Structure 1
């Protein structure tokens, strides 16, 4: 299981606990890393805002690995010893471009998604794409990089890094932190029953309890007593938020010995993507995260429904999921505690040089409508013909196209302001917003990618603009500053406490 807050705060520690070069090298040797991505998602990095800033997205993974003595001791079936681990906890952490808010989304482990073709960066083995497996199995099909690629395909959000921790790492982090307060509305005992075998063993009295070590792990693993995987994610979010508040109150950063213990434990507990595989890089990343106010941190779970082919599996509620993915892509805060952004004044004439004459612009039109469903046949040709009718005589359909959530007009970054003006003229002709125009360092020319948001029609109709805090029902959103949250306990697992 995984606690993103333990990791995030540990990153802050790494920069201050490295006084000596030898100790710095020692911490570096603790860190394990491997490739960022396991395959091709077609998702590009977000364009910078007016201040040149971009969001940071980090995939946080909790592995169920039982391939060490420590992990076997901490629970689960011994039959799975030696098996490839699964990512039973998966959360996407989004840090806004202005570093003033943070949003986190969990997906329940048994949710059926499309897992793309992936290649394991360590073994070189390639795994074929599949659309009937739960998302937690993506880790077995190419490692953390495959899980990252799966999320990119699902959300259309570019993910900068991944971080992973296993059972023993969670226990070690909980111990060194000194315990975290959690709350239940009644006493709880998550145990085997005549109807349902298994259980985490969590046993707590009604009200607030401080959990450490194995008890912390039991809280994070509890599913039956909390009702289902969605409520387990909610309990995990409560734990994360409580840990953040705890460390903030403790002011742990002023205790040099404590910092050293935290840095030592964190670097041993984590596995990360290669580009953040040193103490210095983790510290630099932490500096981007540290200033987010606690009341601007929101945790959520993506709404799901029972899969028609198997009641023990889940599928995303598409409309709700699309709404949340759009907010992440457009860097819209999940909370309403920030200042409202001033709306840009419309401009009749875009800044920059005038666009070239439409008849001189070669526009390659790619069919990217195949997101979550089959691509619409012939859509690139349809839109190329629309452009032809508007004077873009050289517009033609591309032979291939990567799936895209939204429609964009890409121009080569090296073309600068002229390329931008040309792309804006294409966007204007089709009714696309100016935000659809993107510079791309890898673009070979002016390219229109027709996304899943425009499968039909001759004029683009913009989807509803996402607004801060506009989350769908069922997202189970929690604000990190809220201390008054307690978990409901399913009646079978309620406990009155020892009678002795």
Structure 2
């Protein structure tokens, strides 16, 4: 059941061999989006936290709702796997998980606007290194122009031809979650064995289950379109207020859709700090509340919808150094005249970043660039035997990426007008 690798490269511009184990977007103004799209991100982000945090007691809670999760699962490759009793032990290697948010859940009715088709408007790829010392969370803009592979809808048998350059959020309508996974694999060169599908319904209940997350604002935000009114400084948000913060476009950054990815990263970074610091995953009632909310509102791939897999993933990263958990936006530009109001990959930068991820090599963002190493002195130039621990080399800085680490507590920037 354990996945053991992430190796294929089938992106639009280059190919890399599969392992045997198992460019930056400027915040340009894009066309207005339905508010539901960004709000969906909360469900996806919360699941990511559940999957990368926790302790052994998580096994009990996950076991209790496993039947619910399994019943709602989605088969990615046509081969289901029988469930098994939970194995309380850390995941043995690295793994990749794709969390997808869609914008039309028939159970929601028209409360959040009319939706003519099902689009994967939130795409969050979580990569965890094989040694569990670093992780990368890549947010893929919904309007990113990508190559789409051929897909088959497993529920209807309908076949879809490949496409050379279309927005990534069209993948869901071409074969459901398996097609989204194939498209993101094609884009990134990573094998993605695990995935989850979230809709808007239950976002508020999930944020309430978390119990509130601190967010910092550089200035007061008043965005009537998102029903958000928050003061400058730090506020603990949950429920509808957390939802409004994730929905707000006119209240943050430069007012663009891409600015909201930054809000999502700020929220998730704080959420990670919160659950790692307050003992959330040693608190069985709170853990069960989170697990129940996730099981009710998220459909997992069949190979992920197993208690032993989820618990092992949680145990693998419960103590990860927050400075080595990087949130980054897929690098792209909104200035290509051939694709107005869309995001076009900055391919060289993207290839460099995913080569690092594929090789399990940590990297740093330009804003996190470490201070230069101290010049050696006469006393230190000659190596001597010592019992002192070896100082690990600082990760390479990849300039041009937008993002933050989980330890970054900088404030969200209010809309500048």
TM-score grouping bracket, smaller chain normalisation: 0.7 to 0.9
Q: Give the distance between the partners of 1:111 and 1:5, measured in 2 at CA.
A: 20
CA deviation vs aligned residue, 1:59-96 (integer Å, no higher than 9, x gap): 12222224213x743x3x2x21xx44212111211101
Q: Secondary structure at the match of 1:327?
A: helix
1:57 shift after superposition: 1.2
Asked if structure 2 preserves the Cα contact closer than 8 Å seen for 1:14 and 1:282, the reply is no
SS at match of 1:181: strand
Which of 228, 235, 249 is 1:202 aligned to? 228
Rounded Cα–Cα distance in structure 1 between residues aligned with 2:316 and 2:157: 33
| 1:412-466 Cα distance to aligned partner (Å, 9 max, x none) | xxxxxxxxxxxxxxxxxxxxxxxxxxxxxxxxxxxxxxxxxxxxxxxxxxxxxxx
Q: Is the 8 A contact 2:222 2:251 kept in 1?
A: yes
Does 2:157 correspond to 1:116?
no
Contact 1:28 1:278 in 2 (8 A): no
In 2, Cα distance between equivalents of 1:139 and 1:85? 6
Verify the 8 A CA contact 2:136 2:327 in the aligned structure 1: yes
Alignment CA distance shift 1:61-1:269 (3 Å): same
Aligned residues of 2:221 and 2:229 also touching (Cα < 8 A): yes
Whether 1:271 aligns to 2:197 is: no
Q: Which has the higher contact order (CA 8 A, sep 6+)?
A: 2
Distance 1:103 1:155, change over 3 A: same
The structure 1 segments of at least 4 consecutive aligned residues displaced by more than 6 Å after TM superposition are none
- Pairing partner for 1:6 from 6, 26, 46: 46
Q: Is the 8 A contact 1:116 1:149 kept in 2?
A: yes
Alpha-carbon offset, residue 293 of structure 1? 1.8
Report the Cα distance in structure 1 between the residues aligned to 2:243 and 2:281, rounded to whole angstroms.
Answer: 25
Mapped contact 2:127–2:136 kept (Cα < 8 A): yes
Alignment of 1:436-447 (within 5 A): none
Q: 2:67 aligns with which of 28, 32, 35?
A: 28
State the SS of the aligned residue for 1:62.
Answer: strand
- What is the aligned-residue RMSD (CA, Å)? 2.7
Q: TM-score, normalised by structure 2?
A: 0.73
- Structure 2 counterpart of 1:250, from 267, 270, 278: 278
TM-score by length of 1: 0.61
Show the counterpart of 1:147: 180
8 Å Cα contact 2:65/2:291 also seen in 1? no
Measured after TM superposition, the shift of residue 153 of structure 1 is 1.0
SS of alignment partner, residue 137 of structure 1 = helix
SS of residue paired to 1:311: coil
Q: Is the 8 A contact 2:55 2:318 kept in 1?
A: no
- Residues 289 and 169 of structure 1, relative CA distance in 2, 3 Å threshold: farther
**Counterpart for residue 313 of structure 1:** 342
Distance 1:316 1:245 in 2: 31
Deviation per residue, 1:26-52 (Å, 9 max, x gap): 4422442113359xxxxxxxxxxxxx9
Counterpart-to-counterpart distance in 2, 1:491 and 1:273? 41
In 2, Cα distance between equivalents of 1:24 and 1:262:
13
* Aligned residue number for residue 491 of structure 1: 416
Q: CA deviation at 1:5?
A: 4.8
Shift of 1:103: 1.0
- State which of 96, 100, 108 in structure 2 corresponds to 1:57: 96
Contact 1:104 1:298 in 2 (8 A): yes
1:120-199 map, 5 Å:
120-191=153-224, 199=225
User: Where do residues 362-373 of structure 1 align in structure 2 (5 Å cutoff)?
Assistant: none
Residues 359-388 of structure 1: CA distance to partner in whole angstroms, max 9, x if unpaired? xxxxxxxxxxxxxxxxxxxxxxxxxxxxxx
Counterpart for residue 288 of structure 2 = 260
Gaps of 5+ in 1: 39-51, 192-198, 338-466, 493-500
Aligned residues: 334
Distance of 1:189 and 1:146 partners within structure 2: 39
Q: Distance in 2 between matches of 1:252 and 1:111?
A: 35
